[in-house]
Structure 1
Amino acid sequence: MSLIFNKKYKLHASENVEEFLKALGVSLEDRNLCHSAIPVVELTKKEDGKLVLSSTSDKKDFSIEFYLNEEFVEETLYDHKVTSLFTQDGNKLVVVQKSDNYNDVTIVREFNPDELKITLTIDGITCYRIYKPVD
């Protein structure tokens, strides 16, 4: 199975988000914003092979562009500067984010026709976010 492009997924359920965000040092205000947002996520691919991962909600929109297997400096949704490396493992899009301010973060996005499962891990704390396709 491979990545799924041009399909929108809407947040359906989350688990352990608060502990994960605290471990990242995310402010209380931004944690509250995260809990109230219901994002829609989409992965697209440009003609030059660059991937675009976008998240839209009524609270905040976010988009990153990257090539697989090429490190780049990214500003995260919570304004942290990190060095990111995206790789692909079948239907999984995996990113490792390195920062001087906290330990490495690993984010695995598993694309399936009926679900997008995102697993986020830092310091042994794991958070899950389940998205369902938008009709």
Structure 2
Amino acid sequence: MVDQFLGSWTLTASDNFDEYMKAIGVSFATRQIGNMTKPNLVFSVDDAGVITLKSESTFKTSEIKFKLGEEFDETTTDGRSTKTTITLENGKLVQLQSWDGKKTTVAREIQDGKMCTKCVIDDVVAVRTYEKAA
């Protein structure tokens, strides 16, 4: 199911993330921190099928728990309150966030042993690459 995502991942590259944060409405000060932060993502799953995604950094740690295909309320690390649904589509973990009439998708997939995360809102695309922590 989501086995290929389980474990700890470290951000190694980030492309166009400032433009993406701008497009979703993140303030200048928060964007500055977001651009400097290199979070670790930790995926785990319990016996009931509840997936936990923890984002850990020196500035902030956040955590969401979800079941695939079930909508939940999420408070994002930048403070947005979203309705979020995460699905597994063709091996990709696709996170759809909706708030204030806006929508964004964050699609994560494993390519060549790395996790490629594509963040899209309207015509703005950011790509963040994570490598599995030892």
The interval holding the TM-score normalised by the smaller chain is over 0.9
Q: In structure 2, what is the equivalent of residue 79 of structure 1? A: 79
Q: In structure 2, what is the equivalent of residue 52 of structure 1? A: 52
CA distance in 2, matches of 1:57, 1:11: 10
Q: In structure 2, what is the equivalent of residue 4 of structure 1? A: 4
Correspondence 1:97-112 to 2 at 5 A? 97-100=97-100, 102-112=101-111
| Aligned partners of 1:87 and 1:95 also within 8 Å | yes
Task: Name the one with the larger strand percent.
Answer: 2
| Aligned partners of 2:5 and 2:110 also within 8 Å | no
TM-score normalised to the size of structure 2? 0.92
Q: What residue ranges of structure 1 are gaps of 5+ in the alignment?
A: none
What is the DSSP-based 3-state SS (H/G/I as helix, E as strand, rest coil) of the residue aligned with 1:104? Answer: strand
Q: In structure 1, what is the equivalent of residue 62 of structure 2? A: 62
CA distance in 2, matches of 1:112, 1:19: 24
Residue 91 of structure 1: CA displacement? 2.6
Residue 133 of structure 1: CA displacement? 1.3
| Aligned partners of 1:4 and 1:43 also within 8 Å | no
CA distance in 1, matches of 2:46, 2:111: 21
What is the DSSP-based 3-state SS (H/G/I as helix, E as strand, rest coil) of the residue aligned with 2:4? Answer: coil
Mark the CA change 1:2 to 1:46 in structure 2 (over 3 Å): closer, same or farther: closer
Q: In structure 2, what is the equivalent of residue 132 of structure 1? A: 131
Residue 2 of structure 1: CA displacement? 5.0
Q: In structure 2, what is the equivalent of residue 93 of structure 1? A: 93
What is the DSSP-based 3-state SS (H/G/I as helix, E as strand, rest coil) of the residue aligned with 2:21? Answer: helix
CA distance in 2, matches of 1:116, 1:42: 12
Letter in 1 for 2:13: A
- Aligned-residue CA RMSD in angstroms? 1.6
Aligned length: 134
- The runs of 4+ residues in structure 1 deviating greater than 4 Å are none
CA distance in 2, matches of 1:90, 1:46: 22
